[in-house]
Amino acid sequence: MTRTQVATAPEAATDYADLSEQLSLGESDTNQRHHDGHAVRAKFITPLDPVIETQDGNRLPAVPLQEAHKLNVLKAKAGGRTLPAPSAKQDSSKRHIKRETEDEHDASAQDDNLDLAIAPLRTHPLFPPLPLYGPPSLLRNAHCLLFRITSFFLSTGFLLVIVLGALFTSIPPILSKLWKLLTFRDPDAQRPFNEEEKARAATRKQEERQWSEKRRQAKRRSKSSDTRASEPSPAPHTQYTPLEGGPDKLLCDGKYYARRVGLEMEKFKVQTEDGFIIDLWHVYDPTEQRPSTSKEKAEHGPEIFKSESNEPQPIPEGQKRYPVLLIHGLLQSAGAYCCNDDDSLAFYLHKAGYDVWLGNNRCGFNPQHTLLKYTDPRMWAWNIRQMGVMDLPALISRVLGETGVDKLGLVAHSQGTTQTFVALAKEQRPDLGEKISVFCALAPAVYAGPLIGKMYFKFMRVISPGMFRIFFGIHAFIPLMMFMHARLPAKLYGFMGYKVFGFLFNWSDERWDRGLRDRFFQFSPVYVSSESMRWWLGRECFAKHKCVLSTREENFHEEEEDESPERDREAQDEGREEKNAGKDDKGRTAWYDKRAPPFALWVAGSDDLVDGRRLLRRFERGREPYVNVVHSKVIDEYEHLDVLWAMDAIEKVGSEVRDVIWKTMSKRDKERCRRIDGGHKYG
């Protein structure tokens, strides 16, 4: 038996005090034991995701399962409570010790079945434990400083190699373009939207001149009438009058681009269950809605789907907008949905009639936590699991609270789909599916594409976890990228961003409007943790298993089933039979249970980064009997980012997203909310 099991109450109290100090924000003050940030107990968000509750009501993230369980057991033992041993037959991730006594004045005596969860003997191979960093000490600070020094030089060298590689591979296309110009040929003749691209550029130039002329007229009227008129007079023939105009300023500001299409944007603060403060952007029509106050936009407490929300602004029945939440991809921000004028998915969905909200993940452009500071390694001890289990539910909770509805439409791209697929899994937070009317996955990132075998990614997979931290640190991943983002001229940064990311992820701007391309990269990269990148590219997790929810062995079994056309037909027949005869057998190996929302998928057929076709096969073969795929589409010519930025993305993706959300809304919501422009096709 362990010391925790046999310890007397006084011994348990001493052990509890010692462990509590190890898990607290800082070292204890001998004169004030329970200072702000002092660990009180472990709160289990899921059976595998504990956080630390502190004396001042805040939360600390990233505590190992065994430590969290031990803290709660010692606290209970020190309080004189008897803890009956669990049955050996119970599943290790779901066993709970039942309390014999209940003290309603004790904060630890809340109605939470996970409070005293028995820690599993091992964690899932796809989600190994995160490192535990205790409170600041001389040794820990020296340790962190060493990693910051080594990672600065080594990661900068790695980034320099990538930049040089991107520039070197740009030489042949540049020479080819010069040769065509010298021989009096159009170097862009083969681009799919060459003529439309030129027409759009001419239209933007004309609109810039008109805007500048209106501003000059407004200034002249202002001087003659001795009044101030900072904006041009509205154009009576347009429904949405631009609130900004003129030459593109290339700003990292979603509000600026919203105003260019006649809309407004406001930023809410959202607190996750482990204490991170993240940004939630809201697009609205200033002619319909007043802006929220600072108090209304401030973060609530860490509890989700329980805390009081702001009273939604009164809207007549039948005129309410149905909420849609958009989640961005890796190294991006919500600005990826806002930088394409009226072809931006966020603005398009709003003008179609939806209430559009854009979620950002933890840290983003401005890392914030209720307790932790940028230099604390605990600020960066997270990966895709925490983004799915903590960030996504917090964002959904806030949107539902602000809009006063029961469900929303969820649209995600790339890594945003990953965190959603992780969150909805039956081992994580499957109840979240009951808050989502449909999950629209754009370029779904579940299975790895061939790009994972590239030399620079293979290097990250070869080195050990210890070497990875020496190269890339234990804080933010290559923070020099953010330094360059803040200081390079916007046009130069846009060019370099496209070249570097295009080199890394093997995409091109062939289908984009190049006149707007520099905008696209003003909103990336953002701060991400080294642990998150290690999850994607290190030797233990995604890069090894090439899937976010299945191990390498399970994937190999799937590949064997997919070998021949005969097996393909048999698997489809078996899948249909199992769906008709009963779902329990297949459901045991499925990722999702009956709480999963309807899925809709748009797969980029020329995407080297992820393999969306393989995900579609999983659904087609009946491996997910509880998942209802209401829409699926493969766009053969599309690359990874074309689902957002291609010049025909609204036609091939956006309009279908609009209609699928309307189709899957409940009858009651269709009656309460305004009719969607185009949604009539589904009745």
Active site residues: 414, 607, 640
- CA 251 to CA 241: how far, in whole Å? 20
Distance CA 162, CA 218 (A): 49
Measured CA to CA, the distance from residue 606 to residue 609 in angstroms comes to 9
Longest dimension (CA), the chain: 90
**Residue 477: CB partners within 8 Å, gap ≥ 6?**
155, 527, 528, 529, 530, 532, 533
59: number of CA atoms within 13 Å, CB side? 24
Cα 571 to Cα 506, 560, 582, 591, distances in angstroms: 33, 12, 16, 18
Neighbours of 221 (CB within 10 A): 12
Return d(Cα 422, Cα 592) in angstroms, integer: 10
DSSP output for 614-640: HHHHHHHTTSSTT--EEEEEEETT--T
Q: Is 6 exposed, middle or buried (0-12, 13-18, 19+ CB in 10 A)?
A: exposed
Residue written as token pair 């109290």 = 13
Cβ-in-10-Å burial (0-12, 13-18, 19+) of 318 comes to exposed
SS3 271: strand
Q: 164: alpha, beta or left, given left = phi > 0 and alpha = psi -120 to 50?
A: alpha
Residue bearing tokens 């004030």: 32
What is the helix, strand, coil percentage profile of the chain, to 5?
45, 15, 40
Taking the CA atoms of the chain, what radius of gyration do you get in angstroms?
27
What's 49's DSSP letter?
E
